[in-house]
Chain A
Amino acid sequence: MHLDHTHDTTPAALGADARRPDGARRALRIGLGGPVGSGKTATVAALCRALREELSLAVVTNDIYTCEDAEFLLREAVLPPERITAVETGACPHTAIRDDISANLEAVEDLEDEVGPLDLILVESGGDNLTATFSKGLVDAQIFVIDVAGGDDIPRKGGPGVTTADLLVVNKTDLAPYVGSDLDRMAADAKAQRAELPVVFQSLRTGSGVQDVAAWVRAQLAAWTA
Chain B
Amino acid sequence: MSRAALLMLADGRFPAGGHAHSGGAEAAVKAGRITGAADLEEFCRGRLHTAGLVAASLAAAAVLRVPVRELDAAADARTPSPALRVAARKLGRQLMRAARAAWPSQELDAVAREFPKGAHQPVVLGVVARAAGLGASDAAHCAVYESVSGAAGAVVRLLSLDPFDASGVLARLAPEVDRVADLAVEAGRGAVVEGVGALPAASAPLLEIGAEVHAGWGVRLFAS
Contact = CB atoms under 8 A, between A and B. Distances in A.
Contacts of B21: 90
A92 B12 CA distance: 14
A173 B106 CA distance: 54
Interface in A64-105: 64-67, 88-92, 95-96, 99-103, 105
A102 B113 contact: no
B94 A11 contact: no
A179 B17 CA distance: 41
A106 B17 CA distance: 11
Interface residues of A, number: 25
A10 interface: yes
Contact of B221 (A91, A102, A105, A106): A91
Category for how many chain B residues contact A: 20 to 34
Most chain B CB neighbours (cut-off 10 Å) among A1, A14, A95 = A14
Contacts of A105: 97
Contacts of A65: 219-221
Nearest to B21: A90
Interface in A95-143: 95-96, 99-103, 105-106
A55 interface: no
Mostly helix, strand, loop or mixed at chain A's interface? loop
A215 interface: no
Given A88-B222, A90-B21, A99 B157 contact: no
B116 A90 contact: no
Interface in A1-20: 1, 9-12, 14-15
A106 B94 contact: yes
Given A66-B219, A91-B221, A102-B15, A10 B90 contact: no
Contact of B112 (A1, A11, A95, A102): A11
A61 to B, nearest CB: 14
A100 B113 contact: no
A102 B17 contact: yes
B19 A106 contact: no
B139 interface: no
Contacts of A106: 90, 93-94, 97
30 contacts: A1-B101, A1-B104, A11-B109, A11-B110, A12-B116, A14-B97, A15-B97, A65-B219, A65-B221, A88-B20, A88-B220, A88-B222, A90-B19, A90-B154, A90-B222, A91-B157, A91-B158, A91-B222, A96-B19, A99-B13, A100-B15, A100-B16, A100-B18, A101-B15, A102-B17, A102-B93, A102-B97, A103-B20, A103-B90, A103-B223
Interface of A: 1, 9-12, 14-15, 64-67, 88-92, 95-96, 99-103, 105-106
Given A1-B101, A100-B16, 19 more contacts: A10-B109, A11-B109, A12-B113, A12-B116, A15-B97, A65-B220, A66-B218, A66-B219, A88-B20, A88-B222, A88-B223, A90-B19, A90-B22, A91-B157, A92-B19, A100-B19, A102-B16, A103-B17, A103-B223
